[in-house]
Amino acid sequence: MILGVTGSGKGRLAFDLAKDLDAEIISIDSMKVYRRMDIGTAKPPKEARAQVKYHLIDIAEPSDSFSVRSFLDNALEAIRQIRSRNKPVVAVGGTALYIKALLYGLFEGPAANKQIRAELRARAETGGLEQLYRQLTQVDPEAAARIHQNDARRIIRALEVYELTGKSISSFQQQWNPQQTNDERRETNYDWRIIGVRREKAEENKRINARVKKMIAAGLVDEVKSLLSEEKPLSAQARCAIGYAEIIDYLSGKTTLEDAIELIKKNSRRLAKSQRTWFKTFRNVHWLDIESFESDERVFQRGKQLITDGK
Cα separation, 147 vs 278, whole angstroms: 13
CATH class of 2-107+176-309: alpha beta
Instruction: Give the pLDDT of residue 185.
Output: 44
φ and ψ of 187, to 5 deg: -65, -35
Instruction: Give the pLDDT of residue 78.
Output: 96
Cβ–Cβ under 8 Å, residues 144 and 136? yes
189 or 255: which carries more pLDDT confidence?
Answer: 255
Q: Mean pLDDT of all residues in the chain? A: 90
Q: Which of 66-70, 142-146, 231-235, 280-284 has the highest mean pLDDT?
A: 231-235
20 or 178: which carries more pLDDT confidence?
Answer: 20
Average pLDDT over residues 190-211: 94
Q: Which long-range contacts (CB under 8 A, 24 or more apart) does 211-217 make?
A: 211/6, 211/7, 211/42, 211/268, 212/243, 212/261, 212/264, 212/265, 212/268, 213/261, 215/39, 215/40, 215/42, 215/243, 215/264, 216/261
Q: What pTM was estimated for this model as a whole? A: 0.80
Beta sheet of 89-93, edge-to-edge order? 54-55, 24-28, 89-93, 2-4, 194-198, 285-289
Work out the angle at residue 27's Cα, subtended by the Cα atoms of residues 206 and 278, and round it to the nearest 5 degrees: 60
pLDDT surpasses 70 at 56: yes
Q: Where are the domains of the chain?
A: 2-107+176-309, 114-173
Distances (CA, A) of 165 to 23, 109, 111, 134: 44, 9, 11, 19
Q: Is 202 exposed, middle or buried (0-12, 13-18, 19+ CB in 10 A)?
A: exposed
Cα separation, 3 vs 193, whole angstroms: 11
Cβ–Cβ under 8 Å, residues 154 and 239? no
Of the listed ranges 54-58, 189-193, 227-231, 273-277, the one predicted with least confidence: 189-193
Average pLDDT over residues 235-258: 95
pLDDT, tens only, 151-168 = 888 899 999 988 888 888
Q: Which of 293, 288, 291, 292 minimizes the C-alpha distance to 13?
A: 288
pLDDT surpasses 90 at 76: yes
Cβ–Cβ under 8 Å, residues 275 and 6? yes
Q: 114-173: which CATH architecture?
A: Orthogonal Bundle (1.10)
Percent of the chain with pLDDT over 70: 93
184 falls in which pLDDT band (50, 70, 90)? very low
Percent of the chain with pLDDT over 90: 68
Instruction: Give the pLDDT of residue 248.
Output: 97
Instruction: Give the pLDDT of residue 269.
Output: 94
Instruction: Give the pLDDT of residue 186.
Output: 43
55 or 140: which carries more pLDDT confidence?
Answer: 55
